[in-house]
Structure 1
Amino acid sequence: MKIKLLTLIFFLSTSLMAQERFITKSGIISFEASVPSFEEIKGKNTNVSCVLNTRSGEIAVLALVRGFKFKIALMEEHFNENYIESTVFPKTTFKGKIENFFYSRITRTEQNYTLNGQLELHGKTKDISVIAKIKRTDEGIEITSNFIVSTDDFDIEIPSVVSKNISKNVKVSLEFLLK
C-alpha cells in the first residue's frame, strides 16, 4: 500500500512540476528590413527555443543567428558575414518577465500582455518592452508579438552603398507554441 501511495505521489508531483514550465524548440522569429521599391529583405528562423515559467512569468528566448534563412542565398551570406557577424555573435537572446502574468487567467481568447526584459543582439544588450498576445490552446500556450528593433541600438552597421535599400527599423515578429 505504501509503495502505491508513494508511486502516486511521485507521478502527481512530477506532472505538477511539468506544468510549471512550458517549452518549445520550434518557435519562429521573422524579421523584415525592406524599404519600398527595393528588393524584399526578410529572414526567418524556425528553430527558436523559448521557456516560460508559469509561476513567475519569466520568459527566456534563444535564437541561433545562422538559423535565419532567406529567399536569396547571397542575402543570407551578407546578413551573417557583414551585418550580424554570426561567427563573432552566434546567438541572440531575450530574458525577461511578462507583467501581471497569472497562468490561471490564460484563456482561449488572446489577451495582451507586456513583456519587459533585455534583448541581446550583435553583442549589445538593450532593455525593451513589447506587447505580446497570449492564449491557451489544446497544445499549450501560444505567444505572438510584432515589434520594431533599430539597427542603431545594436551597432549594426549598414554600408552607405546599400543604406537606401535596407531599413534601419526592422520589423520583428515571433510565434511560439509552448508545450
Structure 2
Amino acid sequence: MEAKTPAESFTIMNELVLPNDTNTFGNLMGGRLMYWMDIAAGIAAGRHCNTPSMTVSVDNLSFKNPIKLGNVVHIEAKVCRAFNTSMEIHLKVWGEDLLHQYKYESNEAFFTFVALDPNGKPRQIPSLRPESEEEKKLYEGALRRRQIRLILADKMKPEDANELKALFAEKIS
C-alpha cells in the first residue's frame, strides 16, 4: 500500500447555524457540533483509506468560543497519523459572522477512526507521510495521544507507554 499525505484526506465542511441547532442562549449546541465534526472526520478517514470506517474515540474536544445563531460553522479535518488499522484525524472549527465579516476560532479536537473490511473487521490502511512542519508536529504527537487513549481504555499498561515515558523524562531533565 502506498503512503498518502495529509493533504489527500483534507476536508472542509460548512454549516449554517439555524434555530433548531441552538440552545437557550442562542449558541450552537455542543452535540450538534460534534455530529458535524464526526461527519467531517468520517469523510477525511474515507479519503485516506478508501474504505468504510467508524469512530472509535474523540479526544480533547475543547470549546474556546461559542458559535452564535446565524453564523457559519467552518470545519477542517485531515488525517494526522495512520497506524495499522486506525487513524487519528485532527479537526479545527471556526465560526464566521457574515454580517460583521469576521472569523473566530471555536473548537479543536482529535477523532480516531478504524477502517473496516466487508465483514466489519478492522483492516490495514495506508501509512501517512507528513509534509509540512505542522503536519510533522501533529504526526509525532499522535503516538503519545494514542498511548494515553490506550491507557485510559485499559488496553495498555502505563509502564509500556514508551513514548510518554520518554516525553516526561525529557521534561524532567
Q: Does the TM-score normalized on the shorter chain lie above 0.5?
A: no
TM-score, normalised via structure 2 length: 0.28
Query: Of Structure 1 and Structure 2, which has the larger fraction of its residues in helix?
Result: 2
TM-score, normalised via structure 1 length: 0.27
Larger CA Rg, structure 1 vs 2? 1
Query: Of Structure 1 and Structure 2, which has the larger fraction of its residues in strand?
Result: 1
